[in-house]
């Protein structure tokens, strides 16, 4: 592990935001590098995920391994290596809400479930069924449901019971292409998916049947990731089209059950390349992005703007946060301002974000 000098950028004028009007905000925030870790040697680090307690960080990568990192004094050390679960790249990892289980999604078409025992993890079971690479796995807040998605264009919903038995309860084929990401709503049993077909789908269970209830169109290329805001009222999506879009559900006043999602904010002109990930902080409401131009950015919401037309401005930006593409960005769920990023160069980095530097 190499400790580098902290990288801070302060007091730079933010770019004008696309919305027809020239809005200039001072970029008052700062991102300070706390630690850089070489996590997956000679391979991409594809994803990092904080444990619900915020004390552990799971990373996964092209070396087919999952690593669990914990803090020892001031530095993050590797606590466990889960190396024998997958035959190909591990693309994403996800913690169960209780923190006792870890799920891993792999290009080998399987999803592994690991159980935390004392200080280590043991393999519990494997979820099979997807025809090819699994791109994402995510746990519902209730802890009883999981969702996975794949290049086979489908989204699978799994139920887990008290005996650690996993069963697929639904396979939904709403996308016409590779599904990149799935994420659960923070409070409702509602799922969103992002796809290579440039669309976002929203799923709800109605009459024991999971189905796509809304399709969000607007991105001009692959949608790579999604994040709900802390209250679950808005959804952020990021894309290969270099934009981040914010969507809000609107219920028509006439009492009909027709729900539609509208794009209420479009963050354009900030990212130089594909935006691979977006993360919405549960504690502060700050929005972070991971970009193929090697930069990490934090956006804040203008509190004076109309809630139906939110305004986001760039608060902090580290242009070369890593030497290669940033694949993932993740806010620590317990410590406000603590941010993790990971990159194609096999590294992850821990940052401290301050909104007013």
Partner 1 sequence: MSGGTRLENANPLIFQRSGERLLTATDEDEDLADPIDDREIFDILSNQKPHLRSCFLNGLSRTLTSLHLIRSISDPEHPLSLEELNVVEQMRVNVNDEESTVSVEFTPTIPHCSMATLIGLSIKVKLLRSLPDRFKVLLVSSQTHLINKQLADKERVAAALENSQLLEVVNQCLSTRTM
DSSP state, residue 223: E
Instruction: Point out which residues pair with 300 in neighbouring strands.
Output: 313
Q: How far is the CB of 2 from partner 1 (least distance, A)?
A: 16
Q: Which residues contact 70 (CB under 8 A, 6 or more apart)?
A: 55, 56, 57, 76, 77, 79
Q: How far is the CB of 260 from partner 1 (least distance, A)?
A: 28
Taking the C-alpha atoms of residue 57 and residue 237, their distance in angstroms, rounded to an integer, is 24
Q: How far is the CB of 115 from partner 1 (least distance, A)?
A: 27
Length of the chain in residues, anyone? 357
Nearer to partner 1, 132 or 251 (CB): 132
Nearer to partner 1, 39 or 246 (CB): 39
Measured from the Cβ of residue 297, the count of other Cβ atoms closer than 10 Å reads 28
Taking the C-alpha atoms of residue 242 and residue 271, their distance in angstroms, rounded to an integer, is 6
Q: How far is the CB of 297 from partner 1 (least distance, A)?
A: 18
Nearer to partner 1, 133 or 301 (CB): 133
Q: How far is the CB of 293 from partner 1 (least distance, A)?
A: 8
Residue ranges that bind partner 1, judged by CB under 8 A = 42, 44, 62, 88-89, 91, 107, 132-133, 135, 151, 178, 180, 196, 221-222, 240, 273, 292, 323-325, 344-345
Nearer to partner 1, 67 or 151 (CB): 151
Nearer to partner 1, 277 or 301 (CB): 277
Task: Read off the tokens for 252.
Answer: 């028509």
Q: Which of 154, 155, 138 is nearest to 146 (CA)?
A: 138
Measured from the Cβ of residue 6, the count of other Cβ atoms closer than 10 Å reads 12
Nearer to partner 1, 190 or 326 (CB): 326
Q: Which of 192, 292, 310 is nearest to 241 (CA)?
A: 292
Q: How far is the CB of 21 from partner 1 (least distance, A)?
A: 31
Q: Which of 280, 300, 281, 180 is nearest to 240 (CA)?
A: 180
């Amino acid at each position: 592990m190499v400790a580098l000098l902290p990288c801070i950028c302060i007091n730079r004028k933010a770019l004008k935001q696309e919305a027809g009007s020239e809005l200039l905000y001072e970029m008052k925030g700062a991102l300070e590098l706390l630690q850089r870790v070489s996590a997956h040697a000679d391979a991409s680090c594809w994803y990092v995920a904080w444990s619900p307690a915020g004390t552990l960080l799971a990373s996964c990568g092209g070396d087919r391994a999952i690593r669990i990192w914990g803090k020892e004094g001031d530095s993050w050390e590797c606590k466990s290596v889960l190396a024998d679960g997958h035959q190909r790249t591990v693309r994403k990892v996800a913690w169960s809400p209780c923190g006792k289980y870890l799920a891993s999604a792999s290009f080998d078409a399987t999803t592994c479930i690991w159980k935390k025992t004392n200080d280590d993890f043991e393999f519990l079971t494997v979820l099979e069924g997807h025809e090819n690479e699994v791109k994402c796995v995510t746990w519902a807040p209730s802890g009883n449901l999981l969702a996975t998605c794949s290049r086979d264009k489908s989204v699978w919903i799994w139920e887990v019971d008290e005996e650690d038995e996993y069963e697929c309860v639904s396979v939904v084929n709403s996308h016409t292409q590779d599904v990149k990401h799935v994420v659960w709503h923070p409070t409702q049993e509602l799922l969103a998916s992002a796809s290579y077909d440039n669309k976002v789908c929203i799923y709800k269970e109605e009459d024991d049947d999971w189905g796509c209830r809304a399709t969000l169109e607007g991105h001009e290329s692959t949608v790579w990731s999604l994040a709900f805001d802390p209250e679950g009222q808005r959804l952020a999506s990021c894309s290969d089209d270099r934009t981040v879009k914010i969507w809000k559900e609107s219920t028509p006043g006439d009492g009909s059950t027709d729900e539609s999602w509208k794009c209420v904010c479009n963050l354009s002109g900030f990212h130089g390349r594909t935006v691979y990930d977006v993360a919405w902080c549960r504690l502060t409401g700050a929005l972070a992005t991971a970009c193929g131009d090697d930069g990490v950015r934090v956006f804040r919401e203008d509190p004076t703007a109309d809630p139906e037309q939110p305004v986001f401005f760039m608060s902090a930006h580290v242009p070369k946060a890593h030497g290669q593409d940033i694949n993932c960005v993740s806010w620590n769920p317990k410590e406000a301002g603590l941010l993790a990023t990971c990159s194609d160069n096999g590294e992850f980095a821990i940052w401290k974000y301050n909104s007013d530097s």
